[in-house]
Chain A
Amino acid sequence: MGFLDIFLVEALVNGLLLGGVLALLALGLNLIFGVIDVAWICYAELVMFGMYAMYYFAVVYGLGYWIAAPLSIAGVGLMGVALHLLVISPLLASAPINQLLATGGVLFFLQSLATVMFGIDFRNLGIRLPTIEVADVFISYARLLAFGAALAGMVALYLFLTRTYVGTAIRAISQDRQIMALMGVDTRRIYVITSAVGGALAGLAACLLVLQYDVHPFVGLSFGPITFMICVMGGLGNMIGGFIAAFIFAEIISVGGLYLDLEWGYVFAFVFFIAMMFVRPEGLLARRS
């Protein structure tokens, strides 16, 4: 077998597409941390609620995918606002460990709430998307959509943060939270908007993940830890760093899993993560001080 065989190309493409999924997940989490300085440990559970929203709107109420998607994104955006107002806001002045524990508690609360509300059955939209074949390399349509959405989300977020007044205020707050309040910026309002955008990004991820994964109350366990690691590796709050880290992580998993046992792909990814924590503890794109 030649080194650059067709299966390696396929593994690289798969890694790229998986990177898109992970980058999309990391985007919202990084935004929240960058601005509010709180890590939503329960982020993947918001995605899970978004997936349920998609299922109910699209399948149970028969609204169709394209109507269900914006409704779900808006719904999870509102959940983000509720999370901020009810849990984060009262703890903003607390020690970071308290905030972490609180969002960790919300994680278990949301899992249990989903079990009570939706039951334990696996649900799915039942949509089977076509396959794209290019020169004997097969590309997942659903993954391609997620990849495209991650890129579009990144660009849209960049434009929002750089070309709008609110975006500028968000960036300013992420640089210095205390000073901006003294300069007349309504930080509470900005936090609420950021939480809504972060939640909406979780909703967007949900709309795409539900095409590939069954939804159940514990689906977040498959994504939560890996998303968090990507954000840390990219530098918590650094959106471009998170974006790059997602692709590195995904390629290691995909190519490592092709040449060794599947589990080794994850082992290498985690070893890389640990090594990076020593080499660049502030994240991939952090400047050396």
Chain B
Amino acid sequence: MRLGRRLAGLGLVAAAAFGLAFGAEAQEKKFKIGVIYDYSGPLAGGGSSLHGLGAKIMIDHFIQKGPVEGYTIEAIYADAQSKPEVAINEAVRLIEQEKVDMLLGFFSSAQCVPVAGRVEQLGKFMWITTCISTAVLENRNYKNVFRPQAMGQHFGMTATDMIASYSKEKFGKEPKDLRVAIIHEDGAYGVDVARGNEAGAKKHGLNVVLKEGYAATAPDLSALVTKLRRARPDVILHTGYNPDISLFLRQAREGGLKFGALIGHGAGYGVPEKLREALGKDLVGFFNIDPISIWQTNQAALTPDLPPIVKMVGEAYDKAQPGNQRSPHVGMAASNVYLFLQHVLPRAIKAHGGTSAEALRKAALELDFPEGGTMLGFGVKFAGDGPMAGQNERAAPVVIEYTADSADVVWPKSQAKRAPTLPLPAGNPYTTR
């Protein structure tokens, strides 16, 4: 009898201990995110570290809020060093050694293209916040790679849509008479956007007088400036990182290049404070195509949960970089990370039984948000199959025009604050006026 009691007591103690251990384990369920951006190398200053900051602000926000459906979020950050091979190595390291559940981030398309293939091969989930090259997803039929961001050809075609629309009114020319030059860095990103430019020019019947690529690290672009002077374009469509953008514009100014409009396509053109440092007031009147800055979206048109998050990101950014103008890059990454942590992850855990790549994929494919469903203004609906599987089909960039101290949305007309200033204003050293 006594022995029986003792055994029962021991059993109770063991059960309690096991229960406690089990409980602790349940509480310690972790969701590990591998975050990869360029924190060093030329791309870091070209915008990648700002995206990294935006992603971190949002991840920290969710970590502070507490577990998501019982899962504590843990982020492991890695530096791609502006090199595709380092990005691949870091992605594999995070998956195989750090055992992350997914990868998130990526600024450069040259990194995205190979990394996406490797991640898919390893059966993990990848959420691309930034890189825009169409080639990352086109005809790849990936199951687990998703991009809420607009893609490169959208960027390229948005530029031609705007200039074709204003060709007659602002330049006094039919689109077929409007002389357009397409120049781009020759990586995956630049080539892809230029393809969009070319397709858009063809669609609108614009006269493409020059199409030229160059290495982003080229020490001299004066030959390009001379060719542009010879081609006499009304509009230059430029895709570049930095500092190739400031080198080109500096040499263009010194080389006496004149044009009616210059439209950039994100990356280096999306960091206006750096361009202002290099170009001063010469930047006024230049355009940039990017997803809208989250601080410029019409807050009333967003779903009600979003404006407080926009405010939070702004305050966190001001704290991280006091005195700096709020960068659209930061908001872009923050918005795309929010979409994942707020909508994809909880849905995967609740409705699809966990955090596997398959569960995350199913959850992502179920998202169906109309316009106003993200901080960037656009909606969300991912293509599940087809040539662009994994692409958010509702993502769209806007055209902004740089002013003396800010930037205004000028295209599409539905979101435009005002009409674009075309051709470049008088007094600008590049203007044909």
A258 pairs with B227, CB closer than 8 A: yes
- In Å, the complex CA distance between A126 and B243 comes to 14
Are A262 and B212 within 8 A (Cβ)? yes
- A222 in contact with B219 (CB, 8 Å): yes
Does A65 have its Cβ within 8 Å of any Cβ on chain B?
no
The dominant DSSP class at the A interface is helix
Contacts of A56 in B (CB 8 A): none
Contact B218 A262 (CB under 8 A): yes
Q: Which residue of B lies closest to A136 (CB)?
A: B256
In the bound complex, do residue A223 and residue B219 qualify as a contact, i.e. CB atoms below 8 Å apart?
A: yes
CB within 8 Å for A263 and B278 given contacts A14-B222, A212-B250, A258-B226: no
Q: How far is the CB of B222 from chain A (nearest CB, A)?
A: 4
Flag if B186 contacts A121 (CB, 8 Å): no
Interface residues on B, range: 35 or more
Q: Would you call A261 and B277 a contact (CB within 8 A)?
A: no
Cβ-based interface call for A129 (8 A): yes
B335 within 8 A of A: no
Contact (Cβ within 8 A) B254 A262: no
Within 8 Å by CB of A214, from B40, B215, B246, B253, lies B246
Given known pairs A121-B45, A142-B254, the reply for A213 and B243 (CB within 8 Å) is yes
* In the bound complex, CA of A10 to CA of B256 (Å): 11
Q: Are B45 and A122 in contact (CB under 8 A)?
A: yes
Residues A55-74 near B (CB distance < 8 A): none
Chain A positions within 8 Å of B282 at CB level = 128
Q: In the complex the two chains form, is B253's CB within 8 Å of A131's CB? A: yes
Q: Which of A21, A122, A142 touches B246 (beta carbons < 8 Å)?
A: A122
Chain A residues with CB under 8 Å of B278's CB are: 122, 124, 126, 214
Task: Say whether chain B's binding surface is mostly helix, strand, loop, or mixed.
Answer: helix
Contact residues, A139-196 vs B (CB, 8 A): 139-143
A132 to B230, CA, bound (A): 18
Query: Are A226 and B219 in contact, CB atoms less than 8 angstroms apart?
Result: yes
User: B381 near A: Cβ within 8 Å?
Assistant: no
- Closest beta carbon of chain A to B233's beta carbon, Å: 15
| Residues of B close to A133: CB separation below 8 A | 256
Bound state CA distance, A104 and B388, in angstroms?
44
User: Cβ of A7 < 8 Å from any Cβ of B?
Assistant: yes
Task: Look across to chain B and name the residue whose beta carbon is closest to the beta carbon of A8.
Answer: B226
B226–A7 contact, CB under 8 A?
yes
Tell me the B221-242 residues at the A interface (CB within 8 Å).
221-224, 226-227, 229-230, 242
Assess whether A18 is interfacial by the CB under 8 Å rule: yes
From 184 to 228 in chain B, residues with beta carbon under 8 angstroms from any chain A beta carbon are: 186, 212-215, 217-224, 226-227
Complex Cα distance, B247 from A225, in Å, reads 19
Residues in B whose Cβ lies below 8 Å from that of A21? 219
Cβ B217 vs Cβ A212 within 8 A: no
Distance in angstroms between the alpha carbons of A111 and B220 in the assembled complex: 22
B246 close to A262 (CB less than 8 A): no
Residues in A whose Cβ lies below 8 Å from that of B246: 122, 124, 214
CB distance from B56 to the nearest CB of A (A): 15
* A221 interfacial by beta-carbon distance below 8 Å: yes
- Cβ of B11 within 8 Å of any chain A Cβ, yes or no, is no
Contacts of A131 in B (CB 8 A): 253-256
B218 touches A216 (CB 8 A): no
User: Is residue B274 within 8 Å, beta carbon to beta carbon, of the partner chain?
Assistant: yes
**Cross-interface CB contact of B222 among A18, A112, A115, A122, cutoff 8 Å:** A18
Q: Report B's interface with A, CB cutoff 8 A.
A: 39-42, 44-46, 49, 82, 186, 212-215, 217-224, 226-227, 229-230, 242-243, 246-247, 250-251, 253-256, 274, 277-278, 280, 282
Top 3 nearest A-B pairs by Cβ distance?
A257-B223, A138-B256, A120-B44
Please list the residues of chain A having a beta carbon within 8 angstroms of any beta carbon in chain B.
7, 10-11, 14, 17-18, 21, 112, 115, 120-124, 126, 128-129, 131, 133, 138-143, 212-214, 216-219, 221-223, 226, 250, 253-258, 261-263, 265-266
A–B Cβ pairs within 8 angstroms, 26 of them: A7-B229, A10-B229, A11-B223, A122-B278, A123-B277, A124-B278, A129-B254, A131-B255, A131-B256, A138-B256, A139-B254, A140-B222, A141-B254, A142-B254, A213-B247, A214-B274, A216-B45, A217-B40, A222-B218, A253-B223, A255-B223, A262-B212, A262-B224, A263-B186, A266-B215, A266-B218
